[in-house]
Amino acid sequence: MTFKLITWNINSVRLRMPLIEKLIEMRDPDIICFQEIKCQNDQFPYKAFENLGYKYHAVHGQKGYHGVATVSKTPLTQIHSTDYVKMGDTRHISTCFEAGGKTINIHNFYVPAGGDEPNIEKNPKFDHKLKFIEEMKLLNANEGDTPAIIVGDLNIAPLEEDVWSHKQLLKVVSHTPIEVEGLNAIMDAGDWKDLIRQHIPTPEKVFTWWSYRSKDWKVNNRGRRLDHIWGAAELAEKLTDIEILTQARDWEKCSDHVPVIATFQF
């Protein structure tokens, strides 16, 4: 069976429902993971998703900020969220689903952006981000007999080819050495595979985010790969395609992130 998964920092799920409908019509995914839904649980557009064929929901929202949600055509079980760094933020939700006769656990993350100054003494937001990353090192790609996936806006572009200019961004939050080291440590500790880079290897540049501040994002192309899909080794073997839907950055009232689509053959 073919199984399609999308992750997208939607930057307000209610505002961008027309774009979500467009994406579903274009790609017809089995599961969609959203970050920055920017609504409380009771404000989430459950009915709209049900009408689109997504009857199952795992939602962890918050008024005005953050929030993650996973919607699915197939049943979701064992829904759980973790309060990383005990800040009360809604930045994580995990759930299990069945595919190809296998139970799979999916973690949906919105890692803190970390503010502007890469200095924990001067910037509490950066300190929060590094502590959040440290706690993520406990995540394992194989949880007993259950392989896992991590998706979401991890707010770190780890490779030189994941940013428009490695040299100019070395001191910019999202590409500093300490953040990259932390992200790599999560991957190594949990035996995770970077599925995007498995399918699109370096030296090809890959971006999933372009700032709203850019007057012409296409011409400047000052992007970063902030959105990720990781998986256990056995799931990496089932991966058949990764698509970065760059055209979505041109949609009317678009998010500054674009959908990332992974296709598996189970």
Q: Which is the catalytic residue, given 30, 89, 153, 227?
A: 153
Closest by CA to 7, choosing from 20, 25, 17, is 20
- Give the integer Cα–Cα distance in Å for 54 and 153: 22
Q: Which is the catalytic residue, given 110, 194, 227, 256?
A: 110
CB half-sphere exposure, 24, CA atoms < 13 A: 20
Closest by CA to 245, choosing from 17, 14, 29, is 29
Closest by CA to 227, choosing from 185, 194, 189, 192, is 194
User: Is 153 a known active-site residue?
Assistant: yes
Chain position carrying tokens 């994580």:
92
Strands 92-99 and 68-72: unpaired
Closest by CA to 91, choosing from 109, 103, 71, 77, is 109
- Give the integer Cα–Cα distance in Å for 70 and 68: 7
Give 219: exposed, middle or buried? Use CB within 10 Å, 0-12, 13-18, 19+: exposed
Rounded to 5 degrees, φ, ψ at 246 are -60, -35
Find the Cα–Cα–Cα–Cα dihedral 8, 202, 149, 130, rounded to 10°: -80
- Give the integer Cα–Cα distance in Å for 153 and 9: 6
Beta bridge partners of 205: none
User: Is 54 a known active-site residue?
Assistant: no
Write out the catalytic residue numbers. 110, 153
